């Protein structure tokens, strides 16, 4: 049984939650998000919290139970606080800057990489070697950070490339004579 799904998602003050059918909508200070809960799971408002329960004891229903509860919790956290992902750039001459709606990356290629910033996402560069991706949708923030990292993922010999700030790069020893 799901240990995550059993706990109802508390709705803090400043956030309004509405459940209509299988759709959960959250509205808060940062914005508004919605999630369509799978049919194998029921969702209801109980005592100022959103409760998620499986319709039956099948394997797929139990699997989607915890996932649905986590998605609803992410909606609450997103509209209340928002999400943030930090990236670091390592390498001589590697840098980033935001120019309007475009993130310009110099990553050692013959040209600068230009990444258009998606709607609902804010990208800041406090230092030329640091990128901060923020937004209210956890999936979109993570996807954007992953796409930026993909332009030049870190290599194991010198650690050059774009990496998450919390990521550890396992280093390899180079060739020996």
Q: What pLDDT does residue 174 have?
A: 86
- pTM here is 0.87
Question: In the chain, what are the domain boundaries?
Answer: 3-80, 83-164
Distances from the Cα of 151 to the Cα of 12, 40, 70, 74, 141, angstroms: 38, 38, 30, 27, 16
pLDDT score for 175: 87
Give residue 2's pLDDT. 61
Degrees to nearest 5, angle at CA 122 with 118 and 123:
100
Beta strands 41-46; 49-54: pairing state:
antiparallel
**Was domain 83-164 assigned CATH 3.90.930.12?**
yes
Tens digit of each residue's pLDDT (9 = 90 or more) over 103-118: 999 999 999 999 999 9
Residue 11 φ then ψ, to 5°: -100, 110
Identical fold for domains 3-80 and 83-164, yes or no, is yes
Contacts of 122 (CB under 8 A, 6+ apart): 133, 134, 135
Give me 39's structure tokens.
Answer: 């049919």
Which regions of the chain are under pLDDT 50?
none
DSSP string, 34-67: EEE--TTEEEEEETTEEEEEESSS-HHHHHHHHH
The encoded tokens of residue 84 equal 């943030």
* CATH number for region 3-80: 3.90.930.12
């Amino acid at each position: 049984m799901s240990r995550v799904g059993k706990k109802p998602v508390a709705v803090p003050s400043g956030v309004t939650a509405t459940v209509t059918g299988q759709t959960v909508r959250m509205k808060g200070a940062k914005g508004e998000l919605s999630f369509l809960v799978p049919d194998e799971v029921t969702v209801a408002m109980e005592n100022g919290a959103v409760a998620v329960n499986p319709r039956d004891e099948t394997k797929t229903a139990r699997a989607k139970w915890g996932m649905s509860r986590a998605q609803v919790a992410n909606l609450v956290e997103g509209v209340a606080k928002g999400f943030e992902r930090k990236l670091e750039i390592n390498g001589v001459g590697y840098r980033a800057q935001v120019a309007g709606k475009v993130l310009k990356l110099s990553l050692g290629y013959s040209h600068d990489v230009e990444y258009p910033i998606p709607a609902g996402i804010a990208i800041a560069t406090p230092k030329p070697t640091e990128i901060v991706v923020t937004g209210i949708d956890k999936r979109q923030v993570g996807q954007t950070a992953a796409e930026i990292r993909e332009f030049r993922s870190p290599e194991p010999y010198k650690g050059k490339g774009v990496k998450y700030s919390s990521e550890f790069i396992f280093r390899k020893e180079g060739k020996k004579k």
